[in-house]
Chains A and B, each alone.
Chain A
Amino acid sequence: SAVISQKPSRDICQRGTSLTIQCQVDSQVTMMFWYRQQPGQSLTLIATANQGSEATYESGFVIDKFPISRPNLTFSTLTVSNMSPEDSSIYLCSVGWRRGGLNDEQFFGPGTRLTVL
């Protein structure tokens, strides 16, 4: 398993501003992901953070809105740009190891609760 921390844990932001969320893992991981969980909804994958290269975005998510960095194997950031109230969600970092095992697991951070006014 892994100990995953996210900063900030919550924030209230004004429309039109940007917020950068940090994800730190206590050990090197192969895979890092960013999810969004809207109020009362399921988890939706935003993108896979790739070390040293551009993130891989899922359908409906674009780099200009959600720029992602991953400078090393233990750290990643997600920026929510030009925020609107529709961006109010919990943003979750998830990590995993691709060891090649059939049961490779993903572990989730505690999340960042974002409210946009």
Chain B
Amino acid sequence: QQQVKQSPQSLIVQKGGISIINCAYENTAFDYFPWYQQFPGKGPALLIAIRPDVSEKKEGRFTISFNKSAKQFSLHIMDSQPGDSATYFCAARVSGGYQKVTFGIGTKLQVIP
């Protein structure tokens, strides 16, 4: 059972464009939604995260939009750069407990010059 559905699985964006990755979740107990960025040969690194009590969080060129009623959230990368080319994972977690994180399938982003 895939509890966090992520799309698209691959994305090609022109430099300077907006990259958008969408995720949907099923478990209403999830209350923390991080995004991870993974470069080839590296482990995932936390990029930005949001809790469901806010609808949007922005950090630099990266913005998370959150729609609690629809159980959906998305990552927007503004002014995409070739250095943003990586695989992005959305994830969800229930706070407390032993912090098990459920990951989406990942989106391979390629930003072309």
Contact = CB atoms under 8 A, between A and B. Distances in A.
Interface of A: 4, 31, 41-45, 48, 56, 92, 94, 96, 98, 102-111, 113
Interface of B: 31-32, 34, 36, 41-46, 49, 51, 89, 95, 98-101, 103-106
A36 to B, nearest CB: 11
B3 to A, nearest CB: 11
A45 B100 contact: yes
A96 B106 CA distance: 22
Given A103-B49, A105-B46, A110-B43, A45 B101 contact: yes
Contact of A42 (B45, B89, B100): B89
Nearest to B93: A106
A68 B49 CA distance: 30
B33 to A, nearest CB: 11
Contacts of A105: 34, 46, 49
Contact of A103 (B32, B41, B100): B32
Given A107-B45, A110-B43, 20 more contacts: A31-B98, A41-B105, A42-B105, A42-B106, A43-B101, A48-B100, A92-B44, A94-B43, A98-B98, A98-B99, A103-B32, A103-B49, A103-B51, A104-B95, A104-B99, A105-B34, A106-B99, A107-B46, A108-B44, A110-B41
B103 A43 contact: yes
A106 B98 CA distance: 11
Contacts of B36: 108
Contacts of A45: 100-101
A5 to B, nearest CB: 11
Contact of A96 (B31, B43, B99): B99
A48 B103 CA distance: 16
Given A102-B51, A108-B45, A111-B43, A42 B32 contact: no
Contacts of A103: 32, 49, 51
Nearest to A100: B96
